[in-house]
Structure 1
Amino acid sequence: MRLRSSILCALVAALALTATSATASAAPRESLLPLAGSSAERVRISDKVAAAKYAQWHEASRWGAVGGTGSPIDDPAREQVVLDFAAKRSAELGIDPVRSVALFRDQIEASKIVQRGLFAFWDAHPGQVPTERPDLPTEVRPVIDRVNGELLDELAATGHARTSPRCEPGLRLANAIAGRQWHLDRLHRAALHVALGSACVR
């Protein structure tokens, strides 16, 4: 009887701990660091996007097959896929799709800032061009898609923090910390600043 009682007590305690953990994970976050961290990761992934596009552009140019937008960086079709995902997922999470789409436009522009910066550097320093060519559909975009999902989860969790008068100073601090954690240089820090331009609700 005592053994059965002990087992029952242990189960109750385990369930209580699980419930507490679930409540804590679902609770609104005051810190904007996870949001900044996910944005910093996305900015970093732009290096691989740039490497893939740079190789594709030069190969197409060599064969006279350059077309589309006339730019190796702009990809309107892919950008629309990202924005449509942000709007659809926002509705599922109960957050404002308009604000989410605005933030993802900033994320896309931040990626382009990195890509343009790296293209210019590689044009000036051909010896620094990456020797490995990442595959966009199979290697790079799945990572971006994962980070995009994390960004939307963070938007849902930080609604209170992003509408607070303290949002902007808090975001600057979070950006500074994330920049150090991800070892961002000046180009990538500038991109991170742009990436979260719509994070605070003014």
Structure 2
Amino acid sequence: MLILPALKRLENLHVFSVAGISSVSDDFVVEFVARLGHNLQELVLSDSTNLTDASMKAIAEVCPGILALNLVNLIKLTDSAVGYLANGCQALEKLILCRNTFSDEGIAAFLEASGELLQELSLNNVKKVNTDTAISLATKSRKLQRVFGCIQITDTFLNGHSNAEVKIVGLKMTPLLEHCRVLIPDNPFKY
């Protein structure tokens, strides 16, 4: 909370991370987005384990244009959190939900309401994700380019979806970096 007055001067702040800072509270997030959320494009809250749905409600109300949100390991979040995001953050292109307890129905409802622009989704260790999410991915997330860590995705989905641009990273027995494109400069020794 003591850093908020200093942050207030950063009127054009677009990317903000408090990753791994366990002392970050809902009060901080609510106050931060109230002061600086209007220009925010990317917010990283991973491993800020004290955060609850109250933070997501504040983000949804103040940051409708946010493009990327990292919510890794925020175990106090419930399906209400993704409900707030679905209703308020409709511009999301990248959503990282690893190691959370969201339900299959909650993730599917988010995708149904707000998955149209989503390009990247990470569901690694979201153990309840299942059929509803897969159906919503297939029908609503047409711009999705990458899904990571969803072990419930079946061969039927992998071989039967209609979006050739979708890259599913982390399949069993496939090289992890297979999806990466490496650009080799014309002259690698030129600085």
TM-score range, shorter chain: under 0.3
Bigger share in helix: 1
The TM-score normalised by the length of structure 2 is 0.21
- Which has the larger Rg? 1
Taking structure 1 as the reference length, the TM-score comes to 0.20
